[in-house]
Amino acid sequence: MKDFRDLKAFFRTTLVLLILPSCTTTQKPPVTRTIIVDPVIKKASPLAKKYSRVLDVPIDSIHNEKLYAFVDEWLGTPYRYGGEDTSAIDCSYFAQKLYHSVYGTLLPRTAGSQFKSNEIYLFKGRQYIKEGDLLFFKLPGSRRVDHVGVYLKNKRFVHSTARKSAKGKNGVQISLLNDPYWDRIFAAAGKVKRN
Neighbours of 190 (CB within 10 A): 23
- Name the residue among 154, 147, 169 with its Cα closest to residue 94: 147
Instruction: Kindly list the catalytic residues.
Output: 91, 147, 159
Rounded to whole angstroms, the Cα distance separating 37 from 168 reads 38
DSSP assignment of 17-28, as one string?
HHHHHHHS--PP
How far lies 178's CA from each of 22, 72, 175, 182, in Å?
66, 22, 9, 7
CA distance 137 to 44: 34
Q: Quote the CA–CA distance of 154 and 57 in Å, as a whole number.
A: 7
